[in-house]
Amino acid sequence: MKKKYILFWFLVIVFSCTKENPIVKKSINGHQITELKIKNIKDSISLNLSDFFEETRFVKVETNDSVFIDNKGRWIVSDNYLIFISYGNYGVLQFDSNGKFIRQLLKNGFGPNEVLAPKIVFSEDEEQIYVSEQSKRFLFNIDLETGKFLNPIPLAHFGSIKAFSFIDRETLLMLPKYKASDKNEYLLYTQNKTGKLINGIIKPSLINEVSGGEIIRDKVKTFIKPSMSDTIYFLSDDKLLPIYSFDIGENPDDYWKVKKGLWSYWLNFMNTNYMILEVYIITGIEIKNGNTNGVGKMLYILYDTKQEKVQFLSGFKDDLLQNSIDSYNQNFNSNGLKFSVLNAITAIELRNKVINGDTKIKNEKAFLEVTKNLNENDNPILLIGKMKNEVIY
């Protein structure tokens, strides 16, 4: 009996060792990187969207005769202010945390204090915003309490800005937008508020790996997610080091070519302790009206970087608004806020479903209160959530 017991555990250990691990540690130029092999993930966990928030609140954006928010724009949010960046006629608009309109900060256009499709980040104390515009060689610096323009920040390097962020109170990390033909000295650099170049971080040899993308920050680290790359980097002592990569299986060489297999991934949530990946898998091919399209499904994957665990999120859904997970935007800065925008017509439809008992959502009472007397021509409702620092299983 004892021999059988020993043999059993021996086989268990052998099986465990030969099992393909979804988390692989490897070294690149002496630096350790974690690779996630999506095809090897076997475990799953059942969580909903609300499980990743400490708290949520609904905000009804004020509607008046001079301010109408359409779908041609985007938002950034802080604890004290909501900023709407219009791609239409309204430029950049400022609201307080309760959705009350304060002022127009910048007009739409090509003039001195006008912008088209700008990039905006909050200062560390969230009392100012900094605005980049591709036609201008500086960042606007605007005080949010008064709406006044402060000293602009000159750009230290040539080229329009794809993304930028403060990594401390005086230092900016700049991610310019480049084409393959560009031969600028740096592709990523730091500078101070006076426009002085501090350090160029990436040389042109990496242009195919890092050309545009997003800067993702939390209280601990600054990450760079390049466009069309399977690797995430982090900033360490003025060096950009790879930290995570994703093996999503067979991927078409031609991005637009329809082919069965794992297709691509997106980051939905990310901080130092965890991230959620969306991976789209093409399971078949459909031809309609002469056009070939992939038919597939979206998988959600939770990677707990603190506990070194990776699992599928089974049945992952939005129990807050019964909306698409993709509709939630993340402020990729240290405030850890994530939000979704619900236009008035959609909010009214959801309200009716909730009242009739057809749909269940979290914080139902707060939602019904904020949508009371809502008109279909009103400005949108925002759901704003504070992300948890760690995943609670």
Domains, the chain, ranges and CATH?
A: 37-387 (2.120.10.30)
Instruction: State the DSSP code for 67.
Output: B
Q: Which residues pair with 84 in a beta bridge?
A: 75, 93
Distance CA 294, CA 305 (A): 32
The label of the residue with tokens 């937008």 reads 177
Total residues found in the chain within this entry: 393
Determine phi and psi for 194, rounding to 5 degrees.
Answer: -90, 0
Residue 168: CB atoms within 10 A of its CB come to 9
Predicted local distance difference test score (pLDDT) of residue 266: 64
DSSP per residue, 268-283: EEE-SSEEEEEEEEEE
Query: Which tens digit of pLDDT belongs to each residue from 294-327?
Result: 677 778 889 998 889 999 998 888 899 887 777 7
Distance CA 238, CA 201 (A): 6
Burial of residue 13 (number of CB atoms within 10 Å: 0-12, 13-18, 19+): exposed
- Nearest by Cα to 176 from 156, 162, 191: 162
Predicted local distance difference test score (pLDDT) of residue 143: 96
Predicted local distance difference test score (pLDDT) of residue 246: 79
Predicted local distance difference test score (pLDDT) of residue 168: 81
Predicted local distance difference test score (pLDDT) of residue 211: 53
Query: Which tens digit of pLDDT belongs to each residue from 192-219?
Result: 999 999 988 765 444 444 555 778 777 6
Cα angle, residue 265 at apex, residues 263 and 225 outer, rounded to 5°: 135
Instruction: Tell me if residue 255 falls in helix, strand or coil.
Output: coil
CB 131 within 8 A of CB 140: yes
Distance CA 328, CA 341 (A): 8
Q: Which helix (H) or strand (E) holds 352?
A: helix 344-355
Instruction: Tell me if residue 60 falls in helix, strand or coil.
Output: strand
Predicted local distance difference test score (pLDDT) of residue 387: 87
CB 246 within 8 A of CB 277: yes
CA distances from 373 to 31, 82, 348, 357 (A): 58, 22, 9, 19
Predicted local distance difference test score (pLDDT) of residue 271: 78
Maximum Cα–Cα distance across the chain: 87
Q: Could you tell me the two tokens for 373?
A: 């007397």
Could you say which residues of the chain have pLDDT below 70? Answer: 1-19, 70-71, 158-159, 178-185, 187, 202-212, 219-220, 227-229, 248-268, 282-284, 292, 294, 330-335
Predicted local distance difference test score (pLDDT) of residue 347: 92
Residue 330: CB atoms within 10 A of its CB come to 18
| Predicted TM-score (pTM) above 0.85 | no
